[in-house]
Chain A
């Protein structure tokens, strides 16, 4: 087994090779910052063994629907089968936004990497925000 750090040299038991538990990610996630000028809400939906994400962001005149994209799921360790994060890419033409998320203490910590592809000379930028699961219990 090849590895680039000792953490990745693990046994992969056949009985643990079932599907990854996606339940930690599915749901509606709301930005903890009511004054954000970025993503306000993410809806993550499970369809079989896959997850998709639909984001809504704050625009000058209200919410902007970013549409739905497939997400790639990550666990917290090479031998884990429990979802703990995801990545996905939105390509808007003039710019692309890569989302890189991980769950910490029940929150999604979402890193957003924005790269401009137009000639606006805007600098690529990075935003990191927190999202809470809208669990609807209280």
Chain B
């Protein structure tokens, strides 16, 4: 019996997405404690990525005035990242943080041993701040 899949691009039909081996990719390159490569960052100082079976979570420390500000642990969605450089297969993650006054929608991936996080900040208060996107880099520090 032939199964017909819905698609809106050829990428939706990539056989690797249905390959059980894709779900079994090793996430060791992603999990652990990561420290910002910039000691002068005014954003995130650290990121912690944890795995429990097929579940991932992300927490972080933002740079505060005196002390770090905890970004509470949030569930992350694991994504097959099939087209990273050199054709390597890996996981990427997406996670959202909700602070009430602000939401932060993120994606995280590892490229050549460096964790890259892109954060889309959306303000929900009346501070007149612009919603903004930024990118930061982290090195492993287990």
Which of A6, A121, A124 contacts B79 (CB under 8 A)?
A124
Cβ–Cβ contact B10 & A120, under 8 A: no
CB of B139, distance to nearest CB on chain A (Å)? 19
Cβ–Cβ contact B99 & A2, under 8 A: yes
Does A81 sit at the interface, judged by CB under 8 A?
A: yes
Q: How far is the CA of A104 from the CA of B132 in the complex (A)?
A: 14
CB of A119, distance to nearest CB on chain B (Å)? 10
Does A54 sit at the interface, judged by CB under 8 A?
A: no
Which bucket holds chain B's interface residue count?
35 or more
Q: Contacts A6-B65, A125-B17 given; indicate if A111 touches B6 (C-beta within 8 A).
A: no
Which bucket holds chain A's interface residue count?
35 or more
Within 48-104 of A, Cβ neighbours of B (below 8 Å) are at 57-60, 64, 66, 72-81, 84-85, 87, 90, 92-95, 97-98, 100, 102
CB of A62, distance to nearest CB on chain B (Å)? 10
Q: How far is the CA of A120 from the CA of B7 in the complex (A)?
A: 11
Cβ–Cβ contact A5 & B63, under 8 A: yes
Q: How far is the CA of A128 from the CA of B81 in the complex (A)?
A: 9
CB of A7, distance to nearest CB on chain B (Å)? 4
Q: Which residues of A contact B23 (CB under 8 A)?
A: 123
Which of B64, B79, B81, B132 contacts A75 (CB under 8 A)?
B132
Cβ–Cβ contact A4 & B79, under 8 A: no
Q: How far is the CA of A81 from the CA of B129 in the complex (A)?
A: 9
Which of B11, B18, B62, B131 contacts A74 (CB under 8 A)?
B131
Q: Which residues of B contact A94 (CB under 8 A)?
A: 5-6
| Chain B residues within CB distance 8 Å of chain A | 3, 5-14, 17-18, 22-23, 42-44, 62-65, 69, 71, 77-83, 92, 94, 97, 99-102, 104-105, 107, 109, 118, 120-123, 125, 127-135
